[in-house]
Structure 1
Amino acid sequence: MTTFDSTKSSLSELLRDIIAGKIQLPDFQRGWVWDDDHIRDLLVSIARSFPIGAVMLLEAGGEVRFQTRPVEGLERKIPKSQLPEKLILDGQQRLTTLTQTLALDEPVDTRTAKGKKIQRHYYFDIRKAVESPYSLEDAVIAVDDSRQLRSNFGRDVDLDLSTRELECKQLYFPCSQIMSSDDWEATLHQVAPEQFGAYMAFRKLVLTPFRTYQLPVILLKKETSKEAVCLVFEKVNTGGVALSVFELITASYAAEGYNLRDDWFGSNVRNVDSRQARIEKDDLLKGTESTEFLQAISLLTTHELRLADIQAGKTGKQVRPVSAKRADVLQLPLSAWHKWANSLESGFRQVGRFLRKECFYNRRDLPYSTQLIPLAAVLTQLGDRWLEPRIYDKLSQWFWCGVLGELYGGAVETRIANDYEELLRWVDDDEVIPRTVRDASFRPERFDTLRSRLSAAYKGINTLVLREGSKDWFWKASIRELDADEIAMDIHHIFPRAWCERKGIRSDRYDSILNKTPISYKANRKIGGDAPSVYIQRIQHEKQVKLNEEQMNKILATHALEPDLLRSDDFDRFVEDRCSRMVSLIERAMGKRVSLAEEKEEYEMRDEHVFSS
């Protein structure tokens, strides 16, 4: 069954239905934003009978219900009781422009190309249009809200069209009269009958194309699904901001009298009571997206439906799957939001507690925000049980397998749903191991390519090192304490880059995470480009530091490294040893063995190749 029709509609018919409120906008459509240049270009295109693209409308009255609003400029002219017959999905900017310029007497609220807000009335200079029909862009004139064109910073009036008589005498035709010019023609007969011949030529040249103009119209039928509406809207609005699931659901819930936008973002200026603000009181949860929250609600809702299907004796494909996919999120009824929103909000707060127990203290250090979606839903279901040692250890293992296995990048809706369901089952059944735990692996050669703190695995390994109690090399404090106090921190090369380059060590080796660690900016400045044996002595003998070798070694060792190898400037043995130490941290976090045999062989082969070359 086809879900759309393709036809043509006259511009006059479309404008008539828009003014009558039969065609309106779905509430998820953004505001009208066209500037003065775009408006002029559109008027010229129609006057010259050029195509301006198709319009896409959606039949109203189907299962997909949205809050609607009139086209801009008609808000006070259309009663709220007027229900639309069709909704504009594509063509909002063009249809709004044509409504405001051709069908309304009020000035058009637009802006300059630089974004300055202005009010304009649009006219055709009849003489210029008739004399130069192929240069109509020069015939379009815009005047201010007083219908005057001014210069010299507004002091001089260059053109005054403030009355109908002045328009007629000077032969400037208002665009608001294009679709019906009887009144204007009557005035022209009275005040400037000698100009009627020029006007009739203009009427044939410009007005007739407007009045006979046909637009291609694609009409989506009322049976079109909400998901299809969302996807179609995004496909045809590639030049704008992508429509989020949240915006579409907001428009849908508004049709039932519920303002989801106020719930999430707040209805007052400071928005301190919004759901988002309450969640983001925890710094680790700042940036939590509304769509992520909806995905978690989808997990909870579809899981409940799945259990109901199983209890009803359904099997196989009859049983609905747990899902966080877009199509299922879009089907969430308002009742699902009312049922789960408050408890899920609490679940997200528990996620903050969990992350702190795993030694995350700053949002920028979190490897994946997507992994928090199933975690929040699981903690919502578990309540305080997640703190039971046996359950907590499973959650921790799953979390680190996802991070160090780098399994939550890209499109992960299927993994989110699987992990949510399997984590809940694993809580009570040790044999049902989540596939993220089964799938996760870490290969030591990955250390060579971990060079940026933007990588999830990089962030994870850095946190594993820090939670061992890493201390700064200058200040008497842990790295965590300094970071919390907002003292400037650096991720610095342990063997400095300049020293490595002097020794002929390749950048892929010295830029690896194995040769980096977090220290304060102050400590970094003390290192410079010297060998470790030199800068360590310099730091520990600073008058503000004054540490003996044993004390300094204890501090160095908190960074998962061997101080003696550092002091001896033995880069190769240092890297090999640090690799072993980091692998131990990774194995503990993932609950899995990581083989070092391949890594050692690879280093030997690589070094042999460099030597022979």
Structure 2
Amino acid sequence: MSELKTCFKRVDYDLSSLLHYIEIGDIGLPDIQRPFVWPNTKVRDLFDSMYKGFPVGYLLFWENANINGAKQIGVGDKAHTVPARLIVDGQQRLTSLFAVFRGKTVLDANYVERRIEIAFRPRDGKFDVADAAIRRDPEWIANISALWTSEQSSRKLVNSFIDALSAKTPLTEDEEEHISHNLDRLFDLQKYPFTALEIASSVDEEQVADIFVRINSEGVTLNQADFILTLLSVFWDKGRADLERFCRASRQPSVQGAGASSFNHFIQPDPDQLLRVSIALGFGRGRLKSVYQILRGKDLETDTYSTEHREKQFKILEEAQAQVLDLTNWHQYLSALVGAGFRSWEMISSKNALLFAYAFYLLGRKRYAVPEHVLQKAIGRWFFATSLTGWYTNSPESAMDADLNRVAVAKTGEEFLGILEEMQTNELTNDFWRITLPSALESSSARAPGLFAFVAAQNRLNAPVLFSHKRVPELLDPTLTTKKKALERHHLFPRAWLERQGEDDRKRINQIANYALLEWPDNISISDDAPSEYVPVVRERFSAEDWQAMCELHALPPEWEGMPYDDFLQQRRVLMADIIRRGYETLR
């Protein structure tokens, strides 16, 4: 019978010891300049609970593999160059405490720098988030960080506070004693006890994730990317910092004259998303599990760890990430999406499709030296296909792994492009265009891939805006900032009119096939009139030739305004699928 062994040990700390171990590098709290997602109110509640002597939960550490020669976490000299323990659960709590006790700033989820200022009222032991009123009130210590960062003794700080308060409000001896006691209690939070469960280094990341989920009341699931980003914090902190800097810049337009940035109108990537692109490019893998083991320094054949193996693999990742974060590569790739008819995030139904297509763009550009003008169309076509079909919707890692394995055999750019084309041909058969796609368009989802592909195809075909002499590409410019959108979705058979005819199924009323993009003044003027009433009026603006071309590019059947609603939906879905196919084929 096998013997089951406990895979963790219990270790007790006081807070001052934890902060000391973080400072010297023994506990691997990632650099304080990392996105911090707790609101200040939650930090306030943490301090309040500790002050009252309530438990604030276990910490979960993971003993680091015994590997020497690694880079340290964060900045500055550390006594221990390799953390002995990595934080699995408790990072937000320890970041909160480290930031407040050491007076450090943090970055929020949008990479905006802020300081956690927690106020304390010694008269009644109340905590709050500092605001303007609190900062003016002598009853409050507006920022308790000053108590531990001022380098003054606790007695001197207590006396200074009491003297300042007494100057505003006379205090009795009992009140002074009570305030002094509460401040001493606040100072003593440095002795607050924590219990950590420290998981052995021999436990693999899947078991650690399972342990985390089982003990975490919020049930937050760790993924492989979380573990790899932790490794970057330990062994290549500059790499993680570069990732986060790139992601931060993508969230705000660059100031005029400041140069190029990663800002774009498609995606504000997170570090783990770009990490996946680097892994795909550098290691040819969609699944992250084996890559995690490799980056820890594990030789998959001998099942042993070595510093040399780890450094070799990190060098591969470093080279791949440099390509991923190269702004020329980034913007050239995004221009391929624009060329394929996709103009902004509002037309992106799958971030996975966007990110994985970037990996294939980089493979084509760097490994296979495909000419840029050829690669632009090929990758635009690939993204069009994978987005339309939901290629990476289910089991995206497995799908990407399979795709990377397929292209890995290519020796030349022609072979690489041929494999991509073959994969699309196998998926986009005649049955797909004639049966599968029209059926998929029987949807009322505002973010259906088929809807976005239809608009992208209209962009590619330079279709006129319905009932307008302007063109669709002109009015889908994401850089325009207006009070109202230039184009609005319009029910061709107005909802109120359909309801008057007895149609009460909202999903049928809001089907994709009942929508078209109109300029907003036209949308308002049409109102709830029947198609048979408003269409003849609108048609008078156009020649017969222009009207026919417009209806064709908007997949509208001849004399559609007089058709029964069911017949209209069925015929238009087929015609929409044909327009999508025509737009896709222009990318050949």
TM-score calculated relative to the size of structure 2:
0.66
Of 281, 291, 306, 1:328 maps to 291
Q: State the distance in 2 between where 1:343 and 1:385 align.
A: 16
> Which amino acid in structure 2 is aligned with residue 447 of structure 1?
L
Q: Which has the larger radius of gyration?
A: 1
Structure 1 residue 217: Cα displacement: 3.6
Q: Does 1:416 align with 2:389?
A: no
Of 452, 462, 471, 2:455 maps to 462
Q: State the distance in 2 between where 1:291 and 1:463 align.
A: 28
Of 552, 577, 584, 1:583 maps to 577
| Equivalent pair of 2:467/2:538 in contact (CA under 8 Å) | yes
Aligned-partner SS, 1:259:
helix
Q: State the distance in 2 between where 1:293 and 1:16 align.
A: 31
Q: Does 1:445 align with 2:442?
A: no
Aligned-partner SS, 1:293:
helix
Q: Which residue of 2 aligns with 1:385?
A: 370
> Which amino acid in structure 1 is aligned with residue 288 of structure 2?
K
| Equivalent pair of 2:278/2:320 in contact (CA under 8 Å) | yes
Q: State the distance in 1 between where 2:200 and 2:579 align.
A: 58
Structure 1 residue 413: Cα displacement: 0.9
Structure 1 residue 372: Cα displacement: 2.6
Q: State the distance in 1 between where 2:63 and 2:406 align.
A: 42
- The alignment-based identity, stated in percent, is 17
1:199-229 superposed Cα distances (whole Å, 9 cap, x missing partner) = xxxxxxxxxxx89x7x654222344556766
Q: Which residue of 2 aligns with 1:488?
A: 486
Structure 1 residue 461: Cα displacement: 2.7
Of 349, 358, 380, 1:367 maps to 349
Q: State the distance in 2 between where 1:382 and 1:362 align.
A: 23
1:427-472 superposed Cα distances (whole Å, 9 cap, x missing partner) = 52868976665456425332222x2221223212332244333212
Q: Which residue of 1 aligns with 2:143?
A: 119
Structure 1 residue 280: Cα displacement: 3.3
Q: State the distance in 2 between where 1:461 and 1:103 align.
A: 55
1:513-569 superposed Cα distances (whole Å, 9 cap, x missing partner) = 11211111112112111122321233355xxxx435554444333312134232x35
1:285-337 superposed Cα distances (whole Å, 9 cap, x missing partner) = x423332322122122223xxxxxxxxxxxxxxxxxx3343552675543123
Q: Does 1:340 align with 2:340?
A: no
Q: Which residue of 2 aligns with 1:560?
A: 555
Consecutive unaligned residues in structure 2, runs of 5 or more:
104-115, 121-126, 132-141, 148-156, 296-312
1:338-367 superposed Cα distances (whole Å, 9 cap, x missing partner) = 322343445443432322332122232123
Q: State the distance in 1 between where 2:89 and 2:383 align.
A: 43
Q: State the distance in 2 between where 1:578 and 1:480 align.
A: 22
| Equivalent pair of 1:119/1:144 in contact (CA under 8 Å) | no
Residue range with higher mean Cα deviation, 354-363 or 52-61: 52-61
Q: Does 1:7 align with 2:20?
A: no
TM-score calculated relative to the size of structure 1:
0.64
Structure 1 residue 480: Cα displacement: 1.5
Q: How does 1:254-269 map to 2 (within 5 A)?
A: 255-256=234-235, 258-266=237-245
Q: Which residue of 1 aligns with 2:415?
A: 428
Q: State the distance in 1 between where 2:203 and 2:71 align.
A: 13
Q: Which residue of 2 aligns with 1:156?
A: 169
| Equivalent pair of 2:64/2:201 in contact (CA under 8 Å) | yes
Of 48, 53, 59, 2:63 maps to 59
> Which amino acid in structure 2 is aligned with residue 380 of structure 1?
L
Q: How does 1:284-295 map to 2 (within 5 A)?
A: 284=266, 286-295=267-276
Q: Which residue of 2 aligns with 1:351?
A: 333
| Equivalent pair of 1:367/1:460 in contact (CA under 8 Å) | no
Aligned-partner SS, 2:47:
helix
Q: Does 1:407 align with 2:404?
A: no
| Equivalent pair of 2:464/2:550 in contact (CA under 8 Å) | yes
Aligned-partner SS, 1:370:
helix
Structure 1 residue 488: Cα displacement: 1.9
Q: State the distance in 2 between where 1:149 and 1:437 align.
A: 81
Aligned residues: 494
Structure 1 residue 144: Cα displacement: 8.0
Aligned-partner SS, 1:288:
coil
Q: State the distance in 2 between where 1:511 and 1:439 align.
A: 28
Label 1:414 to 1:66 Cα distance change in 2 as closer, same or farther (>3 A).
farther
| Equivalent pair of 1:400/1:589 in contact (CA under 8 Å) | no
| Equivalent pair of 2:458/2:583 in contact (CA under 8 Å) | no
Of 151, 159, 174, 2:184 maps to 174
> Which amino acid in structure 2 is aligned with residue 533 of structure 1?
S
Label 1:470 to 1:155 Cα distance change in 2 as closer, same or farther (>3 A).
farther
| Equivalent pair of 1:422/1:433 in contact (CA under 8 Å) | no
Q: Which residue of 2 aligns with 1:535?
A: 534
Q: Which residue of 1 aligns with 2:52?
A: 44
| Equivalent pair of 2:119/2:129 in contact (CA under 8 Å) | yes
Structure 1 residue 421: Cα displacement: 3.3
1:101-140 superposed Cα distances (whole Å, 9 cap, x missing partner) = 9999xxx9634766326334999xxxxxxxxxxxxxxxxx
Residue range with higher mean Cα deviation, 418-427 or 368-377: 418-427
Q: State the distance in 1 between where 2:514 and 2:19 align.
A: 71
> Which amino acid in structure 1 is aligned with residue 496 of structure 2?
A
